[in-house]
Structure 1
Amino acid sequence: MPPNLTGYYRFVSQKNLEDYLQALNINVALRKIVLLLKPDKEIDHQGDRLIVKTLSTFRNYVMEFEVGVEFEEDLRMVDGRKCQVLSLGAIS
């Protein structure tokens, strides 16, 4: 059985985030804002269903999904995009 990830996670560090955001074609102004943020995560994990809340001083964001089920992630409030996402397999 995979571990339950329910909990509150505090931001510790980031490495190569700017390169990652640039590869995603995030504009330079938004990249600079993101690099200043230290977002925490609050996760509610119930079986295969997860609710992930990203909490920051800039903007809070909630993502709900079921592991292994494709869903549309609406990122318009973050960077203007919608993405088809598939969370793969069991969490381990």
Structure 2
Amino acid sequence: MPPNLTGYYRFVSQENMDSYLRALDINVVLRKLVCLLKPDKEIIHTGNHMVIRTITSLRDYVMDFDLGVQFEEDLGPVDGRKCQTTVCWEGDQLVCEQLGEKRNRGWRHWLEGDQLHLVRRGPAQLAKSQL
């Protein structure tokens, strides 16, 4: 049975974010801004439904979805793109695959103790965060 990720997770660290954003063709100003942010996460996990709220000092980003069901994700606040997104479990890891303009894009979340880990996947780049 996969873990229940419900909780509030405070930002600890991130690695390789600038390279990841550069591979996604994010402009230099937005890349620098994103690298300065220290996003927290709030997750509400009820059965097969999840709400993941990424909280920053500038704006929040909310994903509201059912596990295993593809939906259109509007990444306008992040990078101006839309994609078809599916989130499901692979063992104890929550895995997101985003299909659209950029290939091989998505992320993985998993718990180690009380810390939530996040690895973002983009075109030939990875970015890691610890919350």
Report the TM-score when normalising by structure 2: 0.66
Alpha-carbon distance in 2 for matches of 1:5, 1:82: 26
Report the secondary structure of 1:79's partner residue.
Answer: coil
1:10 is aligned to 2:15: no
Q: Of Structure 1 and Structure 2, which has the larger fraction of its residues in helix?
A: 1
**Cα displacement string for residues 30-53 of structure 1 (whole angstroms, at most 9, x for unaligned residues):** 100000000100000011111000
1:33 is aligned to 2:4: no
Report the secondary structure of 1:19's partner residue.
Answer: helix
* Equivalent runs, 1:1-92 vs 2, <5 Å: 1-90=1-90, 92=92
Cα gap change, 1:63/1:91 in structure 2, threshold over 3 Å: closer, same or farther? Answer: farther
Cα gap change, 1:91/1:51 in structure 2, threshold over 3 Å: closer, same or farther? Answer: farther
Equivalences, count: 92
| Identical columns (%) | 61
Alpha-carbon distance in 2 for matches of 1:6, 1:91: 17
Q: Which amino acid aligns with 2:2?
A: P
Alpha-carbon contact 2:2-2:89 (below 8 Å) kept = no
Cα gap change, 1:67/1:13 in structure 2, threshold over 3 Å: closer, same or farther? Answer: same
Alpha-carbon distance in 2 for matches of 1:91, 1:20: 25
Alpha-carbon distance in 2 for matches of 1:90, 1:80: 28
Which position in structure 1 is the counterpart of 2:101?
none
RMSD of aligned C-alpha atoms?
Answer: 1.3
Contiguous gaps of at least 5 residues in structure 1: none
Alpha-carbon distance in 1 for matches of 2:75, 2:38: 19
Alpha-carbon distance in 1 for matches of 2:91, 2:45: 11
Report the TM-score when normalising by structure 1: 0.92
Which position in structure 1 is the counterpart of 2:115?
none
Q: Which amino acid aligns with 1:85?
A: T
